[in-house]
Amino acid sequence: MTKKKGLVIVNTGNGKGKTTAALGLLFRAWGRGMNVCMLQFIKNENAKYGEIKAAHKLGIEITPTGDGFTWLSKDMDKTTARARHGWALAQEKIASGEYDVIVLDEFTYPLHFDWLDTEEVIAWLKEHKPPMLHLVITGRNAPEKLIEFADLVTEMQEIKHPYQEGIQGQPGVEF
């Protein structure tokens, strides 16, 4: 017997490619006529990264909700509040039933840093995520409980990275 189900997908690990893989899935679904969106939990709301520019040109909704490199934040209360606001926005979109695929990019960080309670997030998802909605969550340090809850988990492993040689991030590759 086979069944269909909206999957919870987690892309985690220290290697590069978590967001890129999620964007590939997002664009694939969009190409099939599915309703898609992405919320970015770390990128600044005024960010103009390549994926945001491309999505805008295509009419795909990507919403940055963070304040940049949050681990460098000088106001952690504000950073935490932004994460909670992003989660409230995500809850609205998830519960709306309007989407087939939603990506919560860098969402593992608010969970890892305890800005949001992982158990409460999972309990909410169990109760409110539409059965056929595919939910993709990216970021390093995915909590073990999130990994257990997910249907598909991929860990990106860093083998070699240009940063190790002092090579800066490249437009179109890193941002």
Mark whether 18 is an active-site residue: yes
Mark whether 5 is an active-site residue: no
11, 12, 18, 149: the active-site residue: 18
53, 71, 78, 126: the active-site residue: 71
Contact 35, 100 (CB under 8 A): yes
- Residue whose C-alpha is closest to residue 12's, from 122, 114, 144, 156: 156
11, 19, 65, 118: the active-site residue: 19
What the block records as the tokens of 52 is 């945001």
Mark whether 129 is an active-site residue: no
Mark whether 14 is an active-site residue: yes
Dihedral pair phi/psi, residue 64, rounded to 5°: -75, 135
Mark whether 45 is an active-site residue: no
106, 108, 115, 138: the active-site residue: 106
Mark whether 98 is an active-site residue: no
Exposure b/e, 34-51, CB count within 10 A at least 16 = b: ebbbbbbbbbbeebebeb
16, 84, 129, 140: the active-site residue: 16
5, 48, 53, 69: the active-site residue: 69
Mark whether 44 is an active-site residue: no
Mark whether 65 is an active-site residue: no
Residue with tokens 């409110």: 128
Mark whether 53 is an active-site residue: no
Just list the catalytic residues.
14, 16, 18-20, 28, 69, 71, 106
